[in-house]
Amino acid sequence: MKILGMGNALVDIITTLEDDKLLESFGLPKGSMTLVDHETSNFINIQTAGLKKQKASGGSAANTIHGLARMGVRTGFIGMVGDDDLGKFFFKDMKSKKIKPMLFKSIRETGRAVALISPDSERTFATYLGAAVELSAEDLDSNLFTGYDYLYLEGYLVQDHDLIEKAVRLARKNGLKVCIDLASYNIVEEHSSFFMELISNHVDIVFANNQEAESLTGEQPEQAAEILGRNSDIAVVKTGAEGSLIYTGGELHKIGIRPSKPIDTTGAGDMYAAGFLYGLVKGQPLETCGNIGAVLSGRVIEVLGAKLDESAWENIRRQVQSIMDNVD
């Protein structure tokens, strides 16, 4: 099974805050993803210059694809970067993880997401999309989707409805199942009607956290999971420390969490999706898929940023194999 991701190709600049005062001074709602212009992105970087930082290739879908690749799934990624150092960094990082990068080039700078990590581990993103926003429907053709079994989309692409609609159409033409992970709750609110129509007509698997699910449906997690699940094949609602909910075929499955010591929630939802999809392509029951997702998300929140080193991945792969070996 091969999984193709499409999303905003961004470089994450992970920044650890001493308190939340800077969030207030930047006017950023805690826990949200806010789009900012180039000038504001540079200003935030300057104002946080003295804080601990690290750089990693990112973007929601790219994080999930990275996780799948580290689990041994064959993957590809469609995105757009600038012809600059950050763009080269993004390309090399994907190649090094055996992901097939299908990256278009723009004269704009590569997009970057300044991830501001609060002391309680909550992350707030100030995202300058840069070149990423220039990926358009005209860039896509059927050949990009040939040979893949799943298309995984990030909800942040909702800024361009035509792009998402063409991607879904080409995926269907090539026999791919379509998965989408919703964007930040404030973006979901702004595009709620489009998201519901897309899910109802074109999506097989939808992922959302509890805030996003409530923004879209107006309901609490269990009811939201049911609404989303009745409009797709499988709906997953991630409920943070309470675990996750999976709804399909009239049944609701409640999945717990794996014990962890969180320091940064960046990438938790992305890694959950990677684990869930890994279980799915391995033919595992949905509850097992959810448990695998919990393993990956539980591990990534113990490190700064959305990337884990090889020793962590070795432990994860052993733990996941043990879970699958013990399925009745």
Q: Angle of helix 310-325 relative to helix 286-300, nearest 10 degrees?
A: 160
pLDDT score at 205: 98
How far, in Å, CA of 191 to CA of 222, rounded? 22
pLDDT score at 305: 73
In angstroms, what CA-CA distances link 213 with 180, 186, 201, 271? Answer: 13, 11, 18, 18
Rg (C-alpha) for the chain, rounded Å, is: 18
pLDDT score at 32: 84
Phi and psi at residue 296, to the nearest 5°:
-65, -45
Residue 282 per-residue DSSP state:
T
pLDDT score at 267: 85
Following DSSP, what letter does each residue of 35-103 receive, concatenated? E--HHHHHHHHHHTTTS-EEEEEE-HHHHHHHHHHHTT-EEEEEEEEESSHHHHHHHHHHHHTTEEEEE
The set of residues, in sequence order, having a beta carbon less than 8 Å from that of 80 and lying 6+ positions away, is 9, 103, 104, 105, 106, 131, 132, 134, 135, 139
Phi and psi at residue 18, to the nearest 5°:
-85, -30
Write down all domains in the chain, each with its CATH number in brackets.
2-10+60-109+131-325 (3.40.1190.20)
CB atoms within 10 A of CB 258: 15
Between 261 and 143, the more confident residue is: 143
pLDDT in tens, 113-169: 998 999 988 889 899 999 999 999 999 999 999 999 999 999 999 989 999 999 999
pLDDT in tens, 273-288: 999 999 999 999 999 9
Closest CA to 104 of 91, 86, 85: 91
Judged by DSSP in three states, 170 sits in helix
pLDDT in tens, 172-228: 999 999 999 998 888 999 999 999 999 999 999 999 999 999 999 999 999 999 999
Closest CA to 7 of 165, 135, 162: 135
Averaged pLDDT, 228-242: 95
Residue appearing with tokens 């989303």: 228
pLDDT score at 260: 87
pLDDT at 262 over 90: no
In angstroms, what CA-CA distances link 256 with 71, 252, 266, 285, 321? Answer: 21, 13, 19, 15, 18
Residue 112 per-residue DSSP state:
E
pLDDT in tens, 29-74: 998 888 899 999 999 989 999 999 888 888 899 999 999 999 999 9
How far, in Å, CA of 5 to CA of 163, rounded? 14
Question: Positive or negative CA dihedral for 155, 161, 167, 168?
Answer: positive
Averaged pLDDT, 87-109: 95
Question: Positive or negative CA dihedral for 134, 11, 123, 293?
Answer: positive
pTM equals 0.90
pLDDT score at 123: 84
What element of type H or E holds 162?
Answer: helix 161-173
% of the chain residues with pLDDT over 90: 82
The set of residues, in sequence order, having a beta carbon less than 8 Å from that of 124 and lying 6+ positions away, is 23, 28, 29, 30, 31, 32, 33, 34, 115, 116, 118
Judged by DSSP in three states, 281 sits in helix
Q: How many CA atoms lie within 13 A of 192 on its CB side?
A: 13
In angstroms, what CA-CA distances link 277 with 42, 195, 244? Answer: 36, 21, 14
pLDDT score at 206: 98
Averaged pLDDT, 86-109: 95
pLDDT score at 279: 98
